[in-house]
Amino acid sequence: MPSNACDISQRLYGNIDEIGLDADIETEISSLGPRKIKSPYVAKRGIQFVGDEERVIAHLAYNSISEVISKGGELISFEYAGPRRDIYFDPSKAKAAIVTCGGLCPGINDVIRAIVMTLHFGYGISSIIGIRYGLRGFIPDYQLPVMELTPKNVEKIHELGGTILGSSRGHQPIDIIVDTLERLNTSMLFIIGGDGTFRAGAKIVEEINRRRLKIAVVAIPKTIDNDIYLVSKTFGFDTAVEMACQAIRCAHTEAVGAPNCIGLVKVMGRHSGFIAAAATTALREVNYCLIPESDFELEGDGGLLNVLRKRLIERNHAVIVVAEGAGQKFFDAKKLGKDPSGNVRLGDIGLFLKQKIKEYFDSIGMECFIRYIDPSYIVRSVPANVDDRLYCANLGQNAVHAAMAGKTGLMISLWNDRYVHIPLASAIKKRKTIDLTGRLWLSVLESTGQPCLK
């Protein structure tokens, strides 16, 4: 199959199928033991309980189920999320902890609120604590006190951006984290984070199992980049796209307001360009969308600079949206160093393009104005919009149902419009990126009309 936009395939699979499922992914969910306690929900009329045998078929692109079976294949399916009739933990004795890690993202407080409310009002659990500033809150050397979480003190936190618990990046000793969980007499740990956090979460589960402890670990996927594997969409993504659209509208207004003007907008997207692509297709006012997955050149007849020159001659304005991880080949990774989590720091592609475009047009003696907008920290720090709030509520509620049932080492995911349980080991196998032969990127190319820029 083609690997770039120059020779795009016409396959029109849904976004879920573009994720590209591995045939050998693990789908079975671990449990702490038999469930012997009746759920408090049993006494509530109209509750629809979920059985462990209920599954959600993972892939939409099968021609037919009979064809798969006839060829000796097996359908990949995920365990359905939701309340179980019998639970593992005794609500009168259980204690829950919540931790948020990594960068900020719209909706974190909504998830925290949903977890606390469901634990308290759904299951009658009164002992809920928040771990401050990410995984470092587990480490005694930092002397960070826990935060008691009650329905009263989380009642209105969904109106705020960020996280009331604080967050941090960087590795922390797994054995000390589990030591703290033991000292706190924790029954269940809810981890809200991204790919790096989930890798730490998987190690925490391993250490808990090695010590034969009965602590459930449930993860909720958090990243506005939408790059977590086996999740159709992460919370905060819709809000991020909405905010990015506002910046792009401003850039377009500026671009058409002056002769030979270029509106340049940088959005978040370290390894995956989902925000840039989604905002581009939503507005239809973007002329060039640059993402980490699709390589581009600056120089040459087909390079961005010469293409921009032709565009300005024909239309007098242009709008460029670039994801922060695009064009990193133009920077020296050794000079950039690494962040506390061990990731290579990114070069600022927005400022780089602004400088290169200005230098190019100066060199050919052509007048050009550039309006540069970088809304990155505004995008990730705002409260969630309505769609994300509803999504966050469902993620938090289903996380509690899974933990109370004694399920562990899993991530709550939205898949085929159903909430499911995904083993952490599968979720961290790889990163989700845009399929350059899939529907989303095809929509970008149709919207912008951009060439392959090479």
432-449 residue pLDDT tens = 999 999 999 999 999 999
Using an 8 Å Cβ cutoff, are 444 and 273 in contact?
Answer: no
Using an 8 Å Cβ cutoff, are 223 and 195 in contact?
Answer: yes
User: What pTM does this model have?
Assistant: 0.90
Mean pLDDT by 10 residues, the chain (454 residues): 34 44 82 96 86 84 50 74 97 97 94 98 96 96 96 95 92 96 98 94 97 98 92 92 95 96 96 95 94 96 96 96 96 82 86 97 96 91 94 98 98 94 94 92 95 92
Number of Cβ within 10 Å of residue 141's Cβ equals: 9
> Does residue 227 have an active-site annotation?
no
Read off the pLDDT of residues 176-213 as tens digits, 9 standing for 90 and up. Answer: 999 999 999 999 999 999 989 999 999 999 999 999 99
User: In this structure, what token pair is assigned to residue 140?
Assistant: 């005694």
Read off the pLDDT of residues 222-241 as tens digits, 9 standing for 90 and up. Answer: 999 999 999 989 999 999 99
Residue 20, pLDDT score: 63
Continuous segment of H or E residues that includes residue 175: helix 174-183
Angle subtended by helix axes 386-404 and 108-117, to nearest 10: 40
Beta strand segments in 37-84, E:
37-38, 55-57, 77-80
- Per the DSSP assignment, residues forming a β-bridge with 412 are 421
Domains with residue ranges and CATH for the chain: 21-234+384-427 (3.40.50.450), 237-381+437-448 (3.40.50.460)
Read off the pLDDT of residues 358-374 as tens digits, 9 standing for 90 and up. Answer: 999 999 999 999 999 99
Catalytic residue among 17, 195, 225, 238: 225
- Per the DSSP assignment, residues forming a β-bridge with 338 are 344
